[in-house]
Structure 1
Amino acid sequence: MDFVLVHGTTQSPASWARVATLLTAAGHRAIAVDLLTPEDLPVEGYAQHVREQYGGERPVVVAHSGSGVLLPAIAEALGARALVWLAAYIPDFPGGKCLRDEARTMLEPDWIGVDPTADPAKASEFLFHDCDSETEHLALDSLRLFDPAVLAAHPAGPAPEIPSTVIVPTRDRTLKPVWQRRAARERLGVTAIEIDAGHCPHVSRPAEIAGILTGRA
């Protein structure tokens, strides 16, 4: 099975290193793609950018955090067999709102306006508070900002007709867990899988995430 791993808005592909290693050890292929480009692209442009980095067929596509905006387009471009939303923004498929319209509803108030890439202490507080010291050091090395305007402004289209799994970290300090659960149910028609972790469980709980991915695939 192929897994295409899509980083979020505050980390590079390096954030997937441990999960990718575990998936490979279990006999799968894991490709951590890089969304960063020299210039901002439309949503379809980022989907094609991912397509250029992946040469296989019908992968499971896993998106973290703000890259949930891009997940439907990436899935379509790759012919994905399944989607996984990991502590991810789930677009407002029923109502057509964009992420910017929903920010104050879905984000924890203390997270709004924080740039963790400019402040390691804030990164530790909001993203990596559940990591041990060694993992936290590795996580801080993976910090990188990816925040093109299209993520905030892109209106939701129709819901993807591809099986979805939603993983909700119950100690998320950035994206409200209660919002994630409700969005999974109302926007994708699924019950979320909950994990005792912060916003980046692929960093802090890689074995558990790899286990969920292989089990659901």
Structure 2
Amino acid sequence: MIDRRSVLATGVATAVAPAGFVRAAPVKARNVVCVHGLFADGSCWSDVIVRLQAKGLNVTSVQNPLTTLPDAVASAERVLARQDGPTVLVGHSFAGIIVTQAGVQPNVSALVYVAARAPDANENYAALAAQYPTPPATAGIVYDGDEGRLSEVAFLRDFANGLPDVRAKVLYAVQQPFHKALLDGRTTVAAWRSKPSFYAVSKQDRTIDPGLERFMAQRMGATTIEVDAGHLSLISHPDEITRLILDAAGG
């Protein structure tokens, strides 16, 4: 079982919103909507989904089109609109940007970031990330025209580190390319300024710098856990990620 306190690298334990935030109290939710990031598809949530369903939650995994940020946000909002009642919105990796924008929808009761980007409104995420060491996976991005993907070496070594080779190679086989235009989008709002927020830092992450993850989690005052995992903690450590989502759902 996870320690439900917020545990950051600094040793500070807090789930209190920073000064100036107006954050609603958490409410019990029965719905969870999960969004995937780059180099993946909706099936990457399968190990978490089966655990959440066993707890009686209604779970939907969004198929992110990976085209433009407005397209990606719209795909999440369409799924959110179908939910009946309070809903926890969960994002992995790049999908944290989608969660930050779409999370302002009124039925979103809490946000969960899993090794995810968490920009502020109108923030240049690339400029923020440049203040931290460049993660190894970045060098493995290759382009075919306007479509980007990870090379097999980078996918297995840097994106799926910590997974068995057999599982990692299956994930590589279903890797979805992203459009360059997707990376140009910026959020116009930051849902984490008003919604209860939770963050899972991946201590062995080679796709987003762990120090950057800790900064974003601390900045938003998120209830935070640290998982001894690579970028795909939702697959390598589904029990911990599930527990965090259940906490966000008031379970």
Which has a greater percent of strand? Answer: 2
Gaps spanning 5+ residues in structure 1: where? none
Gaps spanning 5+ residues in structure 2: where? 1-29, 143-148
Counterparts in 2 of 1:1-217, with a 5 A limit? 1-36=30-65, 40-43=67-70, 45-54=71-80, 55-56=82-83, 57-77=85-105, 79-93=107-121, 96-106=122-132, 108-115=134-141, 117-154=149-186, 157-158=189-190, 159-186=192-219, 188-190=220-222, 192-217=224-249
Shift of 1:105: 2.5
Shift of 1:17: 1.3
Aligned-partner Cα distance in 2 for 1:106–1:63: 21
Shift of 1:145: 2.2
TM-score w.r.t. length of structure 1: 0.85
Shift of 1:143: 1.7
Shift of 1:179: 1.4
Which amino acid in structure 2 is aligned with residue 209 of structure 1?
I
Which amino acid in structure 2 is aligned with residue 129 of structure 1?
N
Structure 1 residues 16 and 2: alpha-carbon distance in aligned structure 2, compared to 1, 3 A threshold:
same
Which structure ranks higher in relative contact order (CA pairs < 8 Å, sequence separation ≥ 6)?
A: 2
Which amino acid in structure 1 is aligned with residue 140 of structure 2?
V
Aligned-partner Cα distance in 1 for 2:72–2:208: 23
Secondary structure of 2:245's counterpart equals helix
Structure 1 residues 68 and 151: alpha-carbon distance in aligned structure 2, compared to 1, 3 A threshold:
farther
Aligned-partner Cα distance in 1 for 2:135–2:193: 30
Aligned-partner Cα distance in 1 for 2:42–2:133: 23
Shift of 1:189: 1.9
Please say which of residues 199-208 and 46-55 is displaced more in the overlay.
Answer: 46-55
Please say which of residues 56-65 and 133-142 is displaced more in the overlay.
Answer: 133-142
Please say which of residues 199-208 and 152-161 is displaced more in the overlay.
Answer: 152-161
Aligned-partner Cα distance in 2 for 1:49–1:76: 15
Deviations 1:65-97 (A, max 9, x none): 11211212221236200000110011035xx43
Aligned-partner Cα distance in 1 for 2:167–2:69: 34
Q: Which has the larger radius of gyration?
A: 2
Shift of 1:7: 0.2
Deviations 1:7-54 (A, max 9, x none): 0011111111111111112211111101217xx4453x4333223234
Aligned-partner Cα distance in 1 for 2:133–2:49: 28
Secondary structure of 2:169's counterpart equals helix
Percent identity reads 23
Which has a greater percent of helix? Answer: 1
2:137 and 2:158 in contact (8 A); partners too? yes
Count residues in correspondence.
Answer: 211
Structure 1 residues 209 and 141: alpha-carbon distance in aligned structure 2, compared to 1, 3 A threshold:
farther
